[in-house]
Structure 1
Amino acid sequence: MSKQVQVHGALFLVALIYGSNYSIAKEVMPVYVGPYGLIVIRVVAAAIFFGIFSRLVTKEKIVGWADNLRAILCGLTGIAINQLCFFGGLNLTSPINAALLMVIVPIIVLLFSAILLRERVSLRKVAGIVLACLGAFLLIYTSRTGTSTGNMLGDLLIILNAVSFGLYLVLVKPLMQKYNAFTIVSRIFTVGAFIVVPFGWKQVSAPDYSSFPVEIWLALVYMVIAVTIIAYLFNTWALRYANPSLVGAYIYLQPLLAIFIAIGFGKDVFTLQKGIYALLIFAGVYLVSRTRQAVAEQ
Structure 2
Amino acid sequence: MSLSYWLLLIAAQTIWACSYTAMKIGLEYLPYSLVIFIRYGLVAGIFTVYWCFRGFPKVSKKLLWISAIVGFCNFYGSQFFQLQGLRYTQAIDVSILILFEPMLTVLMAFFILHERISKNLWIVLGIAMVGFFLISDIRLGTQSDAWSSLRLFGNMLFLFALVFEAICSVFGKVITKELHAIDAMGMLMSFGGIGAFVIHAPLILQYDYTSIPLRAWGALLFLTLGCSVFAYTAWYYAISKVRVQYVALSLFLQPIVGSLVGFLILDEKLTIKTLSGAIIISGGLLWWQTRRKAMLHEAEPRT
TM-score under structure 2 normalisation?
0.71
**Alignment CA distance shift 1:89-1:135 (3 Å):** closer
User: Which letter does structure 2 place at the counterpart of 1:111?
Assistant: L
CA distance in structure 2 between the partners assigned to 1:22 and 1:172 by the alignment? 23
Q: CA deviation at 1:189?
A: 2.2
Quick one: which of 17, 20, 37 aligns to 1:19? 17
Contact 1:176 1:240 in 2 (8 A): no
The equivalent of 1:95 in structure 2 is 90
> Greater shift after overlay, 256-265 or 129-138?
129-138
2:29 alignment partner, SS class = coil
1:70 partnered with 2:66: yes
Q: CA, structure 1 residues 59+127, in 2 after alignment: closer, same or farther (shift >3 Å)?
A: farther
SS at match of 2:46: helix
Aligned-pair CA distance for 1:184: 0.5
CA contact (8 A) 1:47 1:189 kept: yes
1:15–1:254 contact (8 Å) kept in structure 2: yes
Partners in 2 of 1:134 and 1:54 — Cα distance?
Answer: 46
Identity %: 19
Q: Is the CA contact (8 Å cut-off) linking 1:50 and 1:185 kept in structure 2? A: no
Match of 1:43 in 2: 40
CA separation of 1:154 and 1:36: change in aligned 2, threshold 3 A: farther
Aligned residue for 1:86?
82
Q: Give the direction of change, closer, same or farther, for the CA distance of 1:117–1:155 in structure 2 (3 Å limit).
A: same
Q: Take 1:239 and 1:116, find their aligned partners in 2: how far apart are those partners?
A: 23
Amino acid of the residue matched to residue 200 of structure 1?
Answer: H
Q: Residues 273 and 165 from structure 1, CA distance in 2 versus in 1: closer, same or farther, beyond 3 angstroms?
A: closer
Matches of 2:160 and 2:285 in 1, distance apart? 23
- Deviation per residue, 1:231-256 (Å, 9 max, x gap): 44345556657999998897775444
CA distance in structure 1 between the partners assigned to 2:181 and 2:47 by the alignment: 10
Give distance in 2, aligned partners of 1:180 and 1:233: 11
Does the aligned pair in 2 maintain the 1:125–1:287 contact within 8 Å?
A: no
**5+ unaligned residues in a row in structure 1: which ranges?**
none
What TM-score do the two structures reach when normalised by structure 1?
0.72
Match runs of 1:227-246 below 5 Å: 227-237=227-237
Q: Is the 8 A contact 2:89 2:152 kept in 1?
A: no
| CA–CA distance in structure 1, aligned partners of residues 29 and 194 of structure 2 | 23
State the alpha-carbon separation in 2 of the partners of residues 243 and 74 from structure 1: 26
From the superposition, tell whether residues 129 and 237 of structure 1 become closer, same or farther in structure 2 (CA, over 3 Å): farther
Following the alignment from structure 2 to structure 1, what is the Cα–Cα distance between the partners of residues 157 and 274?
28
Give the aligned partner of residue 190 of structure 2: 190
Q: Offset of 1:171 from its aligned partner? A: 0.7
Spell out, residue by residue over 1:51-110, the C-alpha distance to the aligned partner (whole angstroms, 9 max, x if none).
222454x5473433443333223212221222233224434x223697276555444322
Note if contact 1:252-1:281 (Cα within 8 Å) is conserved in structure 2: no
**How far apart, CA to CA, are the structure 2 residues paired with 1:133 and 1:12?**
27
Shift of 1:45: 0.4
Matched residues in 2 for 1:201 and 1:250: separation? 38
RMSD, aligned CA? 4.4
Q: How far is the alpha carbon of 1:41 from its aligned partner?
A: 0.2
Q: Provide the C-alpha distance between the structure 1 equivalents of 2:242 and 2:136, rounded to a whole number of angstroms.
A: 27
How many Å apart are 1:188 and its aligned residue? 1.2
Q: Which residue of 1 aligns with 2:174?
A: 174
Separation in 2 of the partners of 1:232 and 1:183?
11
How far residue 123 of structure 1 moved from its aligned partner, in angstroms, is 4.9
Q: Secondary structure at the match of 1:73?
A: helix
Q: Which moved more, 1:271-280 or 1:9-18?
A: 271-280
Aligned to 1:108: 104
Per the alignment, in what secondary structure is the counterpart of residue 150 of structure 2? coil
The residue type paired with residue 227 of structure 1 is: C
1:259: Cα distance to partner? 1.5
What is the number of residues matched between the two proteins?
Answer: 288
Contact 1:83–1:161 under 8 Å retained in 2: yes
